[in-house]
Structure 1
Amino acid sequence: METVSGHRPTIIDVAKRAGVSKSTAARALAGASNISDSAREQVLRAADALGYTRNALAVGMRSGRSGMLGLVLPDIANPFWGEVARGAQDRAADADTSILIFSSNRCARKELMHLSTLMRARVDGAIINSVADSLDDLDRFGLPCILIGSSAERFPDTCSVGSDIVQGVGLGMDYLRSMGHERPALIVGQPTRLARARFLRVVHEHCVEHDIDPAVLLIENADYTVEGGRFAMQRLLARNHGLLCVFAANDLMALGAMSAVREAGLRCPEDVSILGFDGIQAGAFAWPGLTTIEKPARQIGAQAVAWLLDGNADAKPGTRVHLPCRLIERGSLANLCDASARRVGSVKG
């Protein structure tokens, strides 16, 4: 909105309309306590009438705080990270704080570029799933940081919030075993990905605990995408190992695997049972619905923002929170322990 003179309203215009000094108007808009309620009300009414908006950058330069946070995600196209962003944004809004959101597309160069932008914007802190090899580069930006996701394991001295992968993968393996699937095939990430190592480590420990040789499990590496899961499933089907159950390391790969099963003229779960990991909404609309281990995406985003706002990134270095996962049962897993259930059929090459 513009004033009668044609310029955007300033703090001087607000003060003049409210009949107070410029400093009083500024204190009222900043929420200062050393001002009367009547004066504050006059200023707020004047600002609303003029359509006045505070210059956040100018305020930040004076106060040393911008009222903004940064969030750098590895892949905003993955619905899981969209849910993390939603949780972070909702929590920030509750504290009258804004969030600048970037996607690194798993590129360390882009990640550093985004952090440079956040530094120039004078954000009060950053939440990041780092793809950079070292936090030395990140430290030079001078931003309080909270790590999320599997990258946090590389940086034990930095605060982090994430899902409890040990509990979540263990929950999935226990559920598969209860359904009669003791030796699932696995679709996991590429060998360079830390998340892949974490997932396989828990599976290995579960197998050893239940007297199963982990070496007998079929494993296919894939990108964490629908196409990655589809191609990995095609390779598993081509290996023709009879009864087949698949545990995919994320839901996008699981949905791709379900697509490959249909393309092969097979059915899920009658011919191939599939378990996902993440809990994205798309799994509920697949046919059959995708049974999955849901990671607490929104809570991760909300908790990370809360920690930044509370100053935990600097006050409690190395503090970690692992939030529990939960099982969502739908229709993509056959129950081999139920005599009335139809058994999974042999996979044909």
Structure 2
Amino acid sequence: MDKSRNRRPTIIDVAEHAGVSKSTVARVLAGSSSISEDARDRVMKAVAATGYERNHLAVGMRSGRSGLLGIVIPDITNPFWAGVARGAQDRAAEHNISLLVFSSDWDAGKEARHLRALRQARVDGAIINPVADNFDDLSRFGLPFVFIGSSAERFSDVSSVGSDIAQAVRLGMEHLFSRGHTRPAFILGPRSRLARARFLRTVHDFCVERDIDPAVLAMEDAEYTVEGGKAAMERLLARRGRGYLSVFAANDLMALGAMMAVREAGLSCPEDVSILGFDGIPAGAFAWPGLTTIEKPSREIGVRAVDCLLDEIAGRPEHGRVYMPCRLIERGSLADLTATAPKMVAAGR
């Protein structure tokens, strides 16, 4: 077996192929202007022919910059967080920077390991959705960083980017009420998540403003997954008895799981049950009926986070908390109860 096929091309290979010295190759790759056009052309052709790639870690050790950023998101399988990562990757690429992506799975231990790996890789900075309250001790993190997501609001001294949850939930509540859904039920996230508290606080304030006792509204906690939403909807259906049911789910995966539970109960959406989602993931458009939802700007959050991080790396002033507005996407999962009387059905039939 030819072992040379498994050897990475070196700067010496490029120099031999171009017929120039190793130092000439180094100066060309460094962008030096004191190189003849002929030599520069030969070196670049040799780079392409040999497949040579620069060792960015070695370059970074000399220049102090690696040309790498990192991002740690909680769940890469959730399309919302995948959208955040894609936006960050696209913006980084515009600056000729590569992005390393890690998923913490909402696990503080995994988050800590990923952050150590980023430091060891000498990335120039990191974008993080913090899982733990202490976050690996901010005072000794030793790397420029920006937070994303609702959890970031726990850290008022750190620049962060996230959806405007209060604006988004209020937008959802206003839409529900405008369609006659004045006593919706809620599928919320785990009690340990700050997003749940922010969501619930906005619902509470909205109801109080309209002289509605929030305590009369049915609520179920669940994981932010399809399975969690399905199980929560099954519990809501079991306790509902007879009557029309409207549900506001705290993310689209849970909303899609709730739609599954409705179908399995022999009911129809929105004839028997209306469902409003939260996130705006693409899968909602392909559900039947299409999922009405509040869309959070996932890609834009990633883009803005990279912009903020590059400012942090450059030593420019902190941005504080950047709130990104959300918008309503109206499809078919939410009935207009002001136009037609809902069909009264037994929820458990």
For residues 323 and 261 of structure 1, what CA distance do their matches in structure 2 show? Answer: 32
* Distance change >3 Å, CA 120–CA 5, structure 1 → 2: closer
For residues 27 and 163 of structure 2, what CA distance do their matches in structure 1 show? Answer: 42
Q: Does 1:265 align with 2:266?
A: yes
Q: Partner of 2:269: helix, strand, or coil?
A: coil
2:24 aligns to what? 24
For residues 322 and 277 of structure 2, what CA distance do their matches in structure 1 show? Answer: 23
| 1:1-349 aligned within 5 A | 8-33=8-33, 35=35, 37-240=37-240, 242-311=243-312, 314-317=315-318, 319-338=320-339, 341=340, 343-349=342-348
| Count of matched residue pairs | 346
The question of whether the paired residues in 2 share the 8 Å contact of 1:229 and 1:255 is answered with yes
The question of whether the paired residues in 1 share the 8 Å contact of 2:308 and 2:319 is answered with no
Return the offset for 1:19: 4.4
Return the offset for 1:23: 3.2
For residues 32 and 326 of structure 2, what CA distance do their matches in structure 1 show? Answer: 42
Return the offset for 1:284: 0.9
After superposition, the CA RMSD in angstroms is: 2.2
TM-score normalised to the size of structure 1?
0.92
The question of whether the paired residues in 1 share the 8 Å contact of 2:244 and 2:342 is answered with no
For residues 326 and 6 of structure 2, what CA distance do their matches in structure 1 show? Answer: 56
Letter in 2 for 1:137: D
* Distance change >3 Å, CA 100–CA 212, structure 1 → 2: same
Return the offset for 1:313: 8.2
* Distance change >3 Å, CA 5–CA 173, structure 1 → 2: closer
For structure 2, the 5+ residue unaligned runs are none
For residues 96 and 285 of structure 1, what CA distance do their matches in structure 2 show? Answer: 35
Return the offset for 1:312: 6.0
Return the offset for 1:5: 11
Return the offset for 1:32: 4.2
Q: Partner of 1:186: helix, strand, or coil?
A: strand
The question of whether the paired residues in 1 share the 8 Å contact of 2:312 and 2:318 is answered with no
For structure 1, the 5+ residue unaligned runs are none
The question of whether the paired residues in 2 share the 8 Å contact of 1:244 and 1:344 is answered with no
For residues 14 and 126 of structure 2, what CA distance do their matches in structure 1 show? Answer: 34
Return the offset for 1:34: 5.2
Q: Partner of 1:90: helix, strand, or coil?
A: helix
* Distance change >3 Å, CA 36–CA 216, structure 1 → 2: farther
For residues 258 and 208 of structure 1, what CA distance do their matches in structure 2 show? Answer: 29
Return the offset for 1:255: 0.6
Return the offset for 1:318: 5.5
* Distance change >3 Å, CA 83–CA 313, structure 1 → 2: farther
Return the offset for 1:76: 1.2
Letter in 2 for 1:254: A
Return the offset for 1:344: 4.6
Letter in 1 for 2:143: L
* Distance change >3 Å, CA 21–CA 284, structure 1 → 2: same
Q: Deviations over 1:55-89 (max 9, x none)?
A: 11111111111111111111112111111111111
The question of whether the paired residues in 1 share the 8 Å contact of 2:15 and 2:21 is answered with yes
Return the offset for 1:196: 0.4
Q: Partner of 2:322: helix, strand, or coil?
A: strand
For residues 192 and 232 of structure 1, what CA distance do their matches in structure 2 show? Answer: 17
Return the offset for 1:12: 2.7
The question of whether the paired residues in 2 share the 8 Å contact of 1:144 and 1:313 is answered with no
TM-score normalised to the size of structure 2?
0.92
Q: Deviations over 1:283-308 (max 9, x none)?
A: 11111111000100011111112222
For residues 238 and 58 of structure 1, what CA distance do their matches in structure 2 show? Answer: 62
The question of whether the paired residues in 1 share the 8 Å contact of 2:179 and 2:335 is answered with yes
Q: Partner of 1:187: helix, strand, or coil?
A: strand
Q: Partner of 2:318: helix, strand, or coil?
A: coil
| More divergent stretch after superposition (210-219 vs 311-320) | 311-320
Letter in 1 for 2:245: L
